[in-house]
Structure 1
């Protein structure tokens, strides 16, 4: 009996359509220009991206809005205004989007700050510490910027029917409005004004709050440490315009701060001069030594390297040491002068 011949795929003499990799030729050609490492990386990146996007879609699809998020915007705004809870927008992005009205922020600010304004309270003893904490927390919010504070102060000034005074002192607008509202002495400045970055708005805002007070701030230990940290940040960034505001908060330069300005921060002339000038005016004893070996060593190295900041710093330290009355170290001064 004669057998029917058949073709077996994979045979050397088989037809092209019978080859096992016939359907994979296009993919093989596309990947032939890549190295095995590149092919593996591309495959891994594609699979990772696919899994990541898949997880995001699944999370977005599976997450259901809470009952609070499902409330109408008008109802949520009313809750926000009556509760005066500054942290409510932080609950979720959906709620933050519904509570992003500038008018609502004005209403919230009026409600929170109303309890710490002497123009609204008969006796200062009626102001509770919780009210002061809430007011400070409000002023530290992201939306509470210098421009927002100015607009709110003027609106509140007019709302309290002080229009007659306003017309007489219109050129002093914000300063007059805030002083007439009489904020409590224990209302501390926003913490964000003491932190980096030190923008022009921050400097102007803090300078205004300081100038509107009759007595300096009485900072608690937490605020004092925060202000010290901000002072070191200002020195490291060369924010010389901000230094005088820290002096008004009760801080003073010390030898550690001066070393940081000279050795660690590149000896910015404006910053160093303000630190040295302030330190030279401090009463004795203080923690600033203008004959500090570390400072003079840096100045000597800078002078040897041809850096004009070296001789400049030497002269500044020498003049400040003499002006501050450092007469108890004449021998060390003589040694410094002879070395120069």
Structure 2
């Protein structure tokens, strides 16, 4: 009988036979076939798929893109882009591109090529940076550009070109002679200017834009409704320049209402110049008879005037006189014998479009009516038929 070998135990760690088998199988298995993707460096692939962002572009390139596209939404898309594209120099350059440069100022007036875009201009006007102070900066920049564009010989002539000084005192017959600002036809007045509280800067910019034939977007926005409420704000704050501007904008649209007159008379104390602007604008398209929104024979107004007359208050007599004249389209802007014009904010359309000092007759009424029906942008020079 043969002897069986005696098992000998070797001290040490006990091996995991399953793990050993798996390791041997991996080693003995044939190497996998290489594919095309195995040659691509993962790090290199990540670099190739990365796309640059606008925030990562150099400042100079970003400004070029912005000025070329004239997309006002670009600086509003992020705080970072807004900070990079909102410097005073960039804002002024953008306005020069959107306004001044859209008209060929070298060509004769009749042959000038005009590419002004009212949509872009209206968007710029809504921007926070566009204040009255900035507007004057733009006027100065445009004035200098016009002088440079026309050359040294023209500069040395005795013909002067009005600049920012034309806006001193805000007399329309002066600043409407500044013809190179290049506002587009039918540009919109921003909503930020149509409501209170009003400041001198805010009222001045609103007044200038109205005088330059700015309009309200009645169909595509709430600008008209805001202006209606804003007129009451201006009356309450006794801001005559804002009242003059909003009365004109609403008068064009037949939107000066009986409620506005009541508010100015009953709540506002019938301040003379405020009532003057309201009634002068209301009468133009009134047509001589009450409408659903405006009644110059309103009992509340006449009752208030009667009460003031019983108290020997001149406001009652003055209000009755203005209401009678306005109902017949016979209320002139300046009263007879009134010569202290500096104490009265002028009618915004006075100047080349209309001389508010002119006495009323059939021709003047026709001119003023056409001025309103054309939103102040087209004045006919033909004599109306008097037959």
TM-score range normalised by the length of the shorter chain = 0.5 to 0.7
**Residues 1:76 and 1:151: Cα distance change in structure 2 (over 3 Å):** same
CA RMSD of aligned residues (A): 4.1
1:251 CA displacement: 4.8
Q: Which runs of 5+ in 2 are unaligned?
A: 1-51, 165-174, 329-387
Match of 1:57 in 2: none
Q: Based on CA coordinates, which of the two structures has the bigger radius of gyration? A: 2
Report the Cα distance in structure 2 between the residues aligned to 1:302 and 1:323, rounded to whole angstroms. 19
Q: Distance in 2 between matches of 1:320 and 1:313?
A: 10
SS at match of 1:180: coil
Structure 2 CA distance for partners of 1:138 and 1:178, relative to 1, 3 Å: farther
Deviation at 1:143, TM superposition (A): 1.1
Q: TM-score, normalised by structure 1?
A: 0.57
- Larger helix proportion of the pair: 1
Confirm or deny that 1:293 pairs with 2:299: yes
Give the conservation status (yes or no) of the 8 Å contact 1:290–1:320: no
- Tell me how far apart the structure 2 counterparts of residues 105 and 291 of structure 1 sit (CA, whole Å): 50
Q: Is residue 100 of structure 1 aligned with residue 100 of structure 2?
A: no
Per the TM alignment, residue 254 of structure 1 is displaced from its structure 2 partner at its CA by: 2.8
- Are 1:256 and 2:244 matched, yes or no? no
Structure 1: gaps (5+ residues) = 1-65, 327-340
What's 2:275 paired with?
Answer: 272
2:163 counterpart of 1:173: yes
Q: Is the 8 A contact 2:307 2:316 kept in 1?
A: no
Q: Does 1:317 align with 2:287?
A: no
Whole-angstrom distance in 2 between the partners of 1:169 and 1:152: 22
**1: distance between equivalents of 2:94 and 2:180?**
20
Offset from partner CA, 1:223-243 (integer Å, 9 cap, x none): 544543433332233222223
Q: What's the offset of the Cα at 1:293?
A: 3.0
TM-score, normalisation: structure 2: 0.51
User: Structure 1 134/254 Cα, relative in aligned 2: closer, same or farther at 3 Å?
Assistant: same
The one of the two structures with greater contact order (alpha-carbon pairs below 8 A, sep at least 6) is 2
Q: 2:150 aligns with which of 124, 138, 162?
A: 162
In the alignment, the residues of structure 1 paired with residue 83 and residue 323 of structure 2 have an alpha-carbon distance, to the nearest angstrom, of 58
Distance (Å, rounded) in 2 between the aligned partners of 1:319 and 1:134: 45
Q: How many residues align?
A: 252
Counterparts of 1:206 and 1:137, CA distance in 2: 15
